[in-house]
Amino acid sequence: METYNLTSISEFHLTGFSEDPDLQPVLLGLFLSMYLLTVLGNLFIILAVSSDSHLHTPMYFFLSNLSIVDICLISTTVPKMLMDILTHSRIISYVGCLTQMSFFIVFICMDDMLLIVMAYDRFVAICHPLHYAVIINPHRCVLLLLVSVFLSLLDSQVHNLVALKFTCFKDVEIANFFCHPSQVFNLSCSDTLIKTMVTYIVGAIFGFFPMLGILFSYYKIISSILKIPSSGGRYKAFSTCSSHLSVVCLFYGTAIAVYLGSVVSHSPRKGMVASLMHTMVTPLLNPFIYSLRNRDITSTLKRLHS
């Protein structure tokens, strides 16, 4: 197989979903609609939380930041894809590819970190309600947010440092609609051991262990809810975390699909669909999940509409 020296690489080629000219207007309309719905839906969440003093609580503070991150996440991939469809060109520069990859890792990791923090918030609220105001105070909320930002930047920089060490590539075609980190790594023909170590170690630190933390939190939450004597009390307690649980299942479900798609399946089409679900569908559905399953958000949005 032909390899390409780094000195001769100035750009990569994204395969996209289809090269059929008749499908381009359909894809443009579909992805543009999804992008606009995602941005508007998350902006409504941010507006509702900022405009209603009753929503100035830790849970909604983290939710509004999750909405900001979701807007940033989808904005790292979709505008470039829409431009590719309009210009009939799927070329991305080497620097542009690394930049897109860097921002993608930051925001996808921020999503992960915020879901962990929100699980911790629900754990304290349900399992230690009398100490909630002391444990989850405004200073602690800001600290948890800053730690999430720091860990996300650290994750991004680790990937960048490894990517910058690549000296040759097996190909210049990325079988996706954006520069997905795993696919960029797979194109490299050097430092296989380092690539593998970074993939598994970083994946464990920022994927497996956070998921275990969330599972442990919900184990304790469900145990506490089952101890509530009245069915009404159990329903009320569970309803406060049902939206977050739905978002967690959606986020990790699509993340696992992306991972398994890259490991098990060799079909580029399936990998792109899994990436689409993880990077576009999840940010799109998050505001709808919180709007439909949260009475406080729903009532605030109705007041804003009226």
3-state secondary structure of 13: strand
Encoded amino acid at 257, one letter? A
Q: Tell me whether strands 168-169 and 4-5 are parallel, antiparallel or unpaired.
A: antiparallel
**CATH number listed for the domain at residues 9-305:** 1.20.1070.10
Residues 6+ apart with CB under 8 A from 290: 45, 63, 243, 247, 297
Find the helix or strand (DSSP H, E) in which 104 lies.
helix 94-127
Which stretch of 67-71, 86-90, 105-109, 183-187 has the lowest confidence by average pLDDT?
183-187
Nearest alpha carbon to residue 204 among 158, 266, 150 = 158
This prediction's pTM = 0.88
Nearest to 77 by CA among 43, 113, 41, 38: 38
Q: What percent of the chain has pLDDT over 70?
A: 87
Work out whether the CA dihedral 210, 215, 217, 218 comes out positive or negative.
positive
Query: What phi and psi values does residue 34 have, to the nearest 5 degrees?
Result: -60, -40
Q: Tens of pLDDT along 272-299?
A: 777 888 888 888 888 888 776 677 777 7
pLDDT at position 261 = 58
User: For 249-265, what is the mean pLDDT?
Assistant: 70
Cα of first residue to Cα of last residue in the chain, in angstroms, is 63
Phi, psi of 56 (to 5 degrees): -85, 65
Domain boundaries, the chain: 9-305
Phi, psi of 190 (to 5 degrees): -130, 155
